[in-house]
Structure 1
């Protein structure tokens, strides 16, 4: 985006929200739906599940599902899954195993929830735990096997260690155990390639790891699908993420992709070779003091993203251009100082636009987001938090 386009975009957002008290969150609707269209283009005809943890705004989730190329939700909590189904959202794939007795009780109490929600498991211990919570003889629960998609080189695993199931043999053995067990209906397998989808192309070494991992998964996914299919008819073969749609979507073994962060495009998704980041989600803070001519202290802003604690988990000031956090203080619980030549033109009460490092985590800080249209109209809509929902 050119400097002129940036200037016009931020001016539109700030003009539309000028009467709001800071801090507040704002979504550029034009960029949001352009990002959605770009995800569909990159998926090349493979349907995309919306990763709800990367959005956490129900109306944006349903608005995305209404667009061509998207189908279903990948949730992060069983309580969230139940709530979404009760509010009319269909086809929920829970991305993580659950340990919640209350959410499981609520799931099996309703036929529609049972039909629309698929629960993730990665071991017979997962099944044992569900049986202990619900008692044997519970209604059949749709389940999906989480397969470890990390790249294994000798004893090393490059990627996220999600599941004890890595090989086709392990997947086949677990599938056989699930099918032999009352109360569970095996319908899917999932592979999340974090070392491809969640890793920017920051060096030649990273690109090599991603290429090697993609080649490994192209073979291993097919082997896993074949092994599991010996025991069950698979409705779901899910894989990929915002950063790997082109690569993962080329695998004929999969039936669907998942993406969510690409809708908001937070700072952790800058620096990919396959696509250009188009920021759509921001929060706005006010200058509360000026301790020096080139330093402006903002009220609030300590919204640190999850993951390993380092600079790329901090929120980034993006407007006015030329500001950066002070390394010895960073983003603070109550105040966040920024410095740079641009700070010289800032006065107390002026506003600074920030980007979060992750997507949906920003929405845990706000009861609502303001959607600003291309024409400058503004609509306030609740986040999960604003609807009184906190799913952890």
Structure 2
């Protein structure tokens, strides 16, 4: 875990960088620490043990950072979250191998995909129902083959219950083979891959401080999931091999890279949050977090000697509502949200030992709970190297893109 000394050192580095660069007025000021980003990328490659790491763009949303990750040996391809985004990434030559993470029914985007030989070669759609193919056929204007992969549910099935993300109705060899036969029997589609995302392993902290009992339960669920999933993957792979040869089997996420890549069926692992390490990724046994993304908001009020109020700050993460979805006051150390107000859209009061030392105009640096979502709130990101900003780059939002 990052020490208070390191957090205060970050605050000093950022203070010097802001003083030298004088960012344009407006909040929040988003920053990515390139030293931490690069170290995280290298660590993901190490953990992948020779298998390619596909960048999950949903967890990045900054084209310059996507390019940066893809330029590192061991990274290959993008896992995109919408087809409109995938088409933009292909058209801008950010990536030429793009796998969709989710099914799409975006008819204009599908029409554009099927009309472009280059896009059709670069982008692989994700499907889990014949209805997804029907939409493609309804809008296609050419006979360019469309690449598709099957999203196979990777949840833990135990005692009649399903533990994990509710993603796909396809979960066993029989249902996978049935859908695979359907795809192979339809003209205009090439079945090239499978995805099994074990979110209950990759996306859940298993070493949370003060939650020993819960962490133990999570670790048991993860172990059971991995054991069950390795068997199911092997059975599904054997069943599909009698029908066609796949190009790829995508699985995992930042929190499960080590475990996922041990499965011989898996050919690549997806990761995105591990590059920026948001607050929800602090407490994993599998890797050491190096927080890389921050946003700064200024102190605008001192309602009491022990409270400092910042402008804005309420960048709340998606998922089940709870305190863990709130942004985390990070630098300087010694600050926390108040229970009465939490993180507000226009103002956020902060308490704690450091609050008394803050003056109006000082910047307080937060970490978002999830990766990527921060950059829906800012047009640009400052790239930090040491104690200076070396570049300012646009986010998707800054480019006028709403994916």
What is the TM-score normalised by the length of structure 1? 0.97
Q: CA deviation at 1:126?
A: 1.5
8 Å Cα contact 2:54/2:77 also seen in 1: yes
What is the distance in 1 between the residues matched to 2:384 and 2:265?
40
Unaligned runs of 5+ in 1: none
What is the TM-score normalised by the length of structure 2? 0.94
SS across alignment from 1:17: helix
* Equivalences for residues 163-312 of structure 1 within 5 A: 163-201=168-206, 202=208, 203-312=215-324
Q: Does 1:132 align with 2:138?
A: yes
Q: Quote the residue 2:75 is aligned against.
A: 70
8 Å Cα contact 2:80/2:101 also seen in 1: yes
8 Å Cα contact 2:7/2:333 also seen in 1: no
Please tell me the root mean square deviation across aligned C-alpha atoms, in Å.
1.3
Q: Does 1:378 align with 2:383?
A: no
What is the distance in 2 between the residues matched to 1:9 and 1:322?
14
Unaligned runs of 5+ in 2: 209-214
SS across alignment from 2:333: coil
Structure 1 residue ranges (4+ consecutive) displaced by more than 4 angstroms after TM superposition: none
Q: CA deviation at 1:12?
A: 1.4
Q: CA deviation at 1:330?
A: 1.1
Q: Quote the residue 1:61 is aligned against.
A: 66
* Equivalences for residues 114-133 of structure 1 within 5 A: 114-133=120-139
8 Å Cα contact 1:13/1:28 also seen in 2: no
What is the distance in 2 between the residues matched to 1:26 and 1:375?
12
8 Å Cα contact 2:234/2:265 also seen in 1: yes
Q: Does 1:159 align with 2:164?
A: yes
SS across alignment from 1:283: strand
Q: Quote the residue 1:47 is aligned against.
A: 52
What is the distance in 2 between the residues matched to 1:8 and 1:331?
24
What is the distance in 2 between the residues matched to 1:17 and 1:236?
44
SS across alignment from 2:388: coil
What is the distance in 1 between the residues matched to 2:354 and 2:3?
18
8 Å Cα contact 1:17/1:378 also seen in 2: no
Q: Across the two proteins, how many residue pairs are aligned to each other?
A: 390
